C-alpha cells in the first residue's frame, strides 16, 4: 500500500510554492504538483509574472501547455509556505536568475531552513541565491561545472538530499524526487537529517 493509502492525506495543511516562468519543463511541474496535492498539500504556482498571466510549458524543446500564474513572486513570503519546488527546463531557471524577487524568495527558504526541491536545470537558481555553496547536490549534467564552481559537491545520482535541499537530474528521477520531497515535508521543522551520502 502506498503512502496515500496508508495515511490518507499526510500533507494536509502544508503549503508548497512552485516557482517558474516560461520555458519550464512541463512534467517537472505537473508531476510534483499532482503528487503533493494527492497527499493533501496546497500548491501555489508563483512566477515573476502577474497572477492570471500564463507560463509556457515545454516538453523538451516543443511548446506544450500553458499554466495560469496564481501569485506574483514579489507578493509572496517564504514564511507563508512550508516548502519550495523549482522545476527545470533550460529557459525557465535562466530567466528566474534575472529576477531579484525570485532569487530573494529562494534564499528565504534557506534562511528559514525549509525544504527546497530543485530538479534538472532548476538548481541553477541556487547559485544566484547563494545556497549551492558547500551543499551536496545533483542536477542536469550540463550544470555540473557551474555548481562545482559555486562550491557545491556534485554527484550523478537520482536524488540527493542535503540538509533540507532535495535535488534530482531529470524527468526520469521524478518518482524518487517526489518521494524525497514528501519525506522532507513530513519532517518536523528545524530538524536536519544530514546529508544522504
Residue 61's Cα: distance from chain center in Å? 21
Give start and end residues of each alpha helix (H) in 1-40. 3-7, 26-38
Angle (CA) 80 82 86, round 5°: 100
Active site annotation includes 3:
no
Instruction: Output Rg (C-alpha) for the chain, integer angstroms.
Output: 15
Closest among 17, 142, 120 to 69, alpha carbons compared = 17
Active site annotation includes 167:
no
* Cross-strand bridge partners of residue 43: 16
DSSP string, 65-123: EEEE--EEGGG--GGG-SEEEE---SHHHHHHTT-HHHHHHHHHHHHTT--EEEETTTT
Residue 131's φ and ψ, nearest 5 degrees, are -115, 10
Question: Of the residues 33, 49, 107, 121, which is catalytic?
Answer: 121
**Residue 10: exposure state from Cβ atoms within 10 A (0-12, 13-18, ≥19):** middle
Question: Of the residues 120, 129, 132, 137, which is catalytic?
Answer: 120
Q: Known catalytic residues?
A: 120-121
Amino acid at each position: 500500500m502506498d503512502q496515500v493509502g496508508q495515511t490518507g492525506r499526510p500533507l494536509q495543511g502544508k503549503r508548497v510554492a512552485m516557482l517558474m516562468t516560461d520555458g519550464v519543463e512541463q512534467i517537472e511541474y505537473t508531476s510534483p504538483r499532482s503528487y503533493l496535492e494527492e497527499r493533501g498539500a496546497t500548491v501555489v504556482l508563483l512566477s515573476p509574472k502577474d497572477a492570471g498571466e500564463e507560463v509556457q510549458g515545454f516538453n523538451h524543446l516543443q511548446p506544450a501547455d500553458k499554466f495560469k500564474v496564481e501569485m506574483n513572486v514579489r507578493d509572496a513570503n517564504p514564511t507563508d509556505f512550508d516548502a519550495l519546488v523549482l522545476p527545470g527546463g533550460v529557459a525557465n531557471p535562466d530567466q528566474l536568475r534575472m529576477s531579484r524577487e525570485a532569487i530573494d524568495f529562494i534564499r528565504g527558504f534557506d534562511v528559514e531552513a525549509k525544504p527546497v526541491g530543485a530538479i534538472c536545470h532548476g538548481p541553477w537558481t541556487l547559485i544566484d541565491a547563494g545556497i549551492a555553496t558547500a551543499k551536496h547536490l545533483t542536477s542536469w549534467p550540463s550544470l555540473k561545472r557551474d555548481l562545482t564552481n559555486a562550491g557545491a559537491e556534485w554527484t550523478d545520482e537520482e536524488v540527493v538530499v542535503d540538509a533540507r535541499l532535495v535535488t534530482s537530474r531529470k524527468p526520469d528521477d521524478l518518482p524518487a524526487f517526489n518521494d524525497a520531497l514528501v519525506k522532507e515535508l513530513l519532517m518536523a521543522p528545524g530538524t536536519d537529517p544530514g546529508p544522504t551520502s
